[in-house]
Structure 1
Amino acid sequence: MDSLGRPDTFTIRRATSVAEVAAAEYLFDGPVRAEWAERFLTAGGHHLFLAYDGGEPTPVGFVSGVETTHPDKGTEMLLYELAVAEPYRRRGLGRALVRRLDTLARERGCYGMWVLIDTGNDVALATYRSAGGKDDGSCSVVTWDFT
């Protein structure tokens, strides 16, 4: 149910084409580049789920994940990015997308799933906690920018 008590009619489907990803471009941080979208969709261990409201053709949310494997740890899922269009927030869609990726990770034998969150992003933290995640409060991120 949404905040007005109406039943939500969301469906979540795996993205399989560049056109589907391009239709969700407004949800991403920047423009979708066809060659990058194709590479993501065809790479093993890369996953992108799109959420739709009823029969609407434009996605209203997405979650992406990448499996990472290490010789002494096995495979885990990195929740790479989550986005929900503004009018669809606070209706459980973000949680549903995270749970869909969680289900896939378990099906694929991952031993866990993790996500990086910007400091102070309480909304993201609440979403991930509501989907079963736990904040261990112990991470710092060091980055390299190759551009």
Structure 2
Amino acid sequence: MAQWTVVRAQHPAELVAASHLFDGPVSHDGAADALARPGHVVLLARTPDGRDVGFVSGVEMRHPDKDPEMFLYELGVDEAWRRQGVASALLDALRDLARGLGCQGMWTGTEADNAAALATYRRAGAQVDRGSVFVVWDELDGEDVPAR
């Protein structure tokens, strides 16, 4: 019997309670907004006593000339629960959910030197595309945008 089950977060309070898994504190409003957005999903790995030990978030995406696909937004596992199959179970559950939604692929990005993430994704069947480059706009307030 597994030490945890994977469940889909349905209520903001679930994500607030799982804040320790995220990069920063989860607000009720932020959680409510994320869960209400079409195509957004958060899955939690939860122990029988109700403790959340990992999460994966994804966004179903569709472009007019492509099949639907799942963007794996973020994956996190409590440090004490790493290397016990939690991440693999979360990735399998997100992949299964994506298939159920008609997605034909799943993708994500990570740092080139994040060996743990790359190994986890490879174990889950992903192929690393070394030719890809991510271009990021962190601030959209216009202050750092050069004049044209």
Fold equivalence (TM over 0.5)? yes
* Match of residue 138 from structure 2: 145
Runs of 4+ deviating beyond 4 Å: none
Give 1:117's match in structure 2, choosing from 110, 113, 118: 110
Q: Is it true that 1:76 corresponds to 2:69 in the alignment?
A: yes
- Whole-angstrom CA distance in 2 between matches of 1:38 and 1:118: 29
* Match of residue 32 from structure 1: 26
Deviation track 1:49-91 (CA, whole Å, cap 9, x = no partner) reads 00012x2222000000001110001211000000000111001
Higher mean alpha-carbon deviation, 133-142 vs 16-25, is at 133-142
AA aligned opposite 2:6: I
Give 1:18's match in structure 2, choosing from 9, 12, 15: 12
Residue 38 of structure 1 deviates from its aligned partner by: 0.5
- Whole-angstrom CA distance in 2 between matches of 1:30 and 1:17: 18
AA aligned opposite 1:35: D
Let me know the Cα RMSD of the aligned residues: 1.2
Deviation track 1:4-57 (CA, whole Å, cap 9, x = no partner) reads xxx64211100001110011101101111211211111111101000012x222
Unaligned runs of 5+ in 2: 142-148
Within 5 Å, give how 1:90-129 maps onto structure 2.
90-129=83-122
Give me the identity figure in percent.
47
Give the TM-score normalised by structure 2: 0.90
AA aligned opposite 2:71: L
Larger Rg: 2
Within 5 Å, give how 1:48-67 maps onto structure 2.
48-53=42-47, 55-67=48-60
- Whole-angstrom CA distance in 1 between matches of 2:31 and 2:63: 25
